[in-house]
Structure 1
Amino acid sequence: MPDKMCVRRYLGFVLLVGLQGVLHGQTSEQPCSAPSLDGGYWVPKRDLYNHETKLPYSCDKGRKPAVEGWWATSTCLNGNWSPKPQCIDDKACTAADIANAKYTETPESWYEDGQTIRITCNEGYVLKGRNDEAECNNGKWSSVPVCEKSLHVCGEPPQIPHAVIRQGYQDLFAAYTELQYECEEGYSVEGADTKASINCIDGNWKDGPVCSKWDTELGAGLVAGLGVDVGAGGRQPEVEASSCSVDTDQYDEFKSVGVRNIAHGEQLYLECEPQPGWYLTHYSRATCDNGRVIRSRCCSSAELQFNVC
């Protein structure tokens, strides 16, 4: 029995030492061997380079680094060079830098002479003209597409005191985006709900809510919309005005967006179906007046903007 216990302890010791060696090997900083660079050279020449060594390199005549510039730098990171030193033909192109656009990159991150790429504009941007392709021509990109900001998108929504937006930050929002605000504790929209919406219409944010201080003297027993309690000081709270429900499926002239609920005094912009002779998108302004929906006729965005509709 004692012999078996000694054997077990010995095996456990060996396993522990081996495991520590493996962990040490995984976490230690590994040096890099000299890079393999076809058609180029680097300085200084060594057999091994320490972790985090930055190695500058250049290429022979008729070739260039696979990154921007006539020389480049690669860094040793735990036994590997990053980015990998690489020399390409002078007539090839490095990755294209096209503002506000994306495209499918090659695994090598460079492109042969005559090769084309097709771009897609980022959200909130539209293609200027009809060209969506760029061509690698003798080491340079030609006919590069341009993505410009859409006239219908909105920038950062206005800051409303005592409120936050219930989604992540963006600097651009697509047309017809609806964002929801929520008032901080102790504030509400028109003395009732703590949430409200704002809409992006033709590049502008419409109908931002106002978060007002809730009158705590009225007491917590107030039943919204009924006004059945008398608050402190004998004051009778006001009855909440009725909200409205707008069902676009009931109207042939609108694009269907389903049922939209809006509060008393709130406005909703509804896009109208295109009609012959219209060159601009038309909308109708729906306003909720104590449960009653008041709609304007279908007007162009310019007419709505200057309140002539």
Structure 2
Amino acid sequence: MCSRYLGFFLLVWFPGALHAQSAALQCAAPSLDRGYFVPVKETYSHDSKLTYACENTHKPAVEGWWAESVCQHGTWSHTPRCIEEKACIPPTIANAKYTEASEGWYEEGNIIRITCDKGYEHKDNIATAKCINGTWSSLPMCERSMSACSEPPKVPHAVITGLDYQDLFAAGSEVQYECEDGYTIDGVHTKKSTYCLSGHWTEGPVCGGGRGPGTDLGGSAVGGTGRRPGSGHGGTGTTSAGSGTRPVGGGSSTSSGTNEEEIQNAPIESCGKHPSIPNGEIVDTREMFLKYACNTFYTYVGPKTVVCHSDGTWSDVPSCRATYCSVDTHQYRELYSDGVKYVKDGEGRKLACVKLDEWWTDHFSEVRCTNGRIRLSECCSWLTIKSLCSGTLRKRRLLLPLDLLTE
């Protein structure tokens, strides 16, 4: 008898509960001032869509002259709203953040200032944008900083711990390697950190194994060649690749009793991993040679091609010499503090100056790099005659850790 009454109760209660749940998921018709929408209903079920447009002199608060909104769990995906045509909607700027307006849009004349994400810097020193007649003027962009680093180098028998993968790291970033079980860095430690400094990673660990004869410092089998692999790290001037190493800038690495004249070239696959060079990359891979190119702000120095020798060693590799100047804006009171800026040798760029009052706008210092030395002009407006703006130049000592020039 009890079970019969329970069943009757559930039949009555469940439909009511489902109806209440369904009503909670519904959206009420939006209140749209200065606009209209279709279809017109009193309530809209979950996942229902409506399309709306605005009257003359107004526009939707999203991109386009008409817009669509979706009912999601009792709330519209964006609240349908019409704003003045001269107002601006929030811009989309990659790798940047800025303070969003509480209303969801910006009135004409509003100014936003963006902050670039870590590892990025303002392109052309533009950090602000102004809403003018419904559009943004001089919308800022964030480009990769010259002082940022790409992903840390791969280390055999080691992983990076405590950090999700990312392909760009800001200057000063730290990552920690940890050797796999059975491998150590110096026979004792299993962890070591490396740091991003001026666009390069400091020396990383070498996880050695000691798992019997025929195992090198990285734990890979050498296999009866009679040669002991070189270190190829820590500024020793060598490049290690595959089964052999060869000094950078001269000399050769050969097995015992072999004359250099007897060494012949072999297909590059015979030498294993391709050698890498700081601030450069491989741009052409052929059966018998490799070609490299340097990154922006660096000049190519050394052989045009790199070949593999028959003894498993690489020929001399090129290097990339820095050809740029840097300006640390933190060290100049008249400049807007925005980190370190880089200028190619023989070129110039404009750096934003500190705003002195509300009328002080669009003032910049002309910066030029000549033979590794920086010259800065006085802060001037775009409206100032160019000859007057660049008339007074102050000579600055190079702010780079490069020994290219001396006083």
Q: Bin the TM-score by the shorter chain.
A: 0.5 to 0.7
Unmatched tracts of structure 2, length 5 or more? 1-8, 214-330, 332-394
Identity of aligned residues (%): 51
Partner of 1:160: 155
Asked if the contact 1:76–1:82 (Cα under 8 Å) also holds between the matched residues in 2, the reply is yes
- CA drift of 1:51 comes to 1.1
5+ long unaligned stretches in structure 1: 1-13, 218-273, 283-299, 304-309
Encode CA deviations 1:193-247: one digit per residue, 9 max, x unaligned.
Answer: 2112222121122312222224379xxxxxxxxxxxxxxxxxxxxxxxxxxxxxx
- Kept in 2, the 8 Å contact 1:40–1:57? The answer is yes
Alignment equivalent of 2:199, drawn from 183, 203, 207: 203
1:117 maps to amino acid: I
Tell me, yes or no, if the aligned pair for 1:29 and 1:51 is still in contact at 8 Å: no
Q: Secondary structure at the match of 2:196?
A: strand
Whole-Å Cα distance in 1 between the matches of residues 404 and 188 of structure 2? 33
Task: State the TM-score, normalized to the length of structure 2.
Answer: 0.48
Matching residue within 115, 118, 143 for 1:120? 115
Any residues of structure 2 matched to 1:201-280 within 5 Å, and which?
Answer: 201-215=197-211, 278-280=397-399
| 1:157 Cα deviation from its structure 2 partner | 0.9
AA matched with 1:200 = C
- Kindly state the Cα deviation for residue 25 of structure 1 after the two structures are TM-superposed: 4.0
Residue 108 (structure 1) aligns with:
103
Could you say if the C-alpha distance between residues 301 and 62 of structure 1 is closer, same or farther in structure 2, counting changes exceeding 3 Å? farther
Alignment deviations for residues 232-268 of structure 1 (CA, whole Å, 9 cap, x no partner): xxxxxxxxxxxxxxxxxxxxxxxxxxxxxxxxxxxxx
Task: Tell me how far 1:186 sits from its aligned partner.
Answer: 1.4
1:51 counterpart = 2:46 = yes
AA aligned to 1:198 is: T
Say if 1:302 and 1:109 are closer, same or farther in 2 by CA, change over 3 A: farther
**Count of aligned positions:** 217
C-alpha RMSD over aligned residues: 3.2
- The answer to whether 1:191 aligns with 2:198 is no
Task: Give 1:120 shift.
Answer: 1.2
Aligned-partner Cα distance in 1 for 2:22–2:155? 50
Which AA in structure 1 matches 2:97? K
Higher relative contact order (CA 8 A, sep 6+): 1
Aligned equivalents of 1:97 and 1:279: distance in 2?
Answer: 37
How far 1:99 sits from its partner (Å)?
A: 2.2
CA contact (8 A) 1:188 1:214 kept: no
1:133 equivalent in structure 2: 128
Superposed displacement of residue 52, structure 1:
0.9
Query: Which amino acid is the alignment partner of residue 181 of structure 1?
Result: Y
Q: Provide the rounded CA distance (Å) in 1 between the counterparts of 2:138 and 2:397.
A: 33
2:178 counterpart of 1:182 = yes
Output aligned runs, 1:32-47, within 5 Å: 32-47=27-42
Question: Quick check: 64-73 or 182-191, which moved more?
Answer: 182-191
Distance 1:60 1:203, change over 3 A: same
CA distance in 2, matches of 1:129, 1:113: 24
What SS does the aligned partner of 2:208 have? strand
116-125 or 199-208, larger mean C-alpha shift: 199-208
Distance in 2 (CA, whole Å) between partners of 1:301 and 1:50 is 71
Query: C-alpha offsets along residues 108-155 of structure 1, whole Å, 9 cap, x if unaligned?
Result: 211111111111111111223443210001110002223221111111
Q: Does 1:150 align with 2:269?
A: no
Deviations 1:75-100 (A, max 9, x none): 11233222100111111110011222
Provide closer, same or farther for how the CA distance between residues 112 and 46 of structure 1 changes in structure 2, counting only shifts above 3 A.
same
Offset of 1:301 from its aligned partner?
7.8
In 2, the alpha carbon distance for the partners of 1:35 and 1:79 equals 12
- Cα deviation 1:11-37 (Å, max 9, x = unaligned): xxx9xx99x978984686522222111
CA–CA separation in structure 1 for the residues paired with 2:403 and 2:59: 53
- Judge conservation of contact 1:202–1:301 (CA < 8 Å) in 2: no
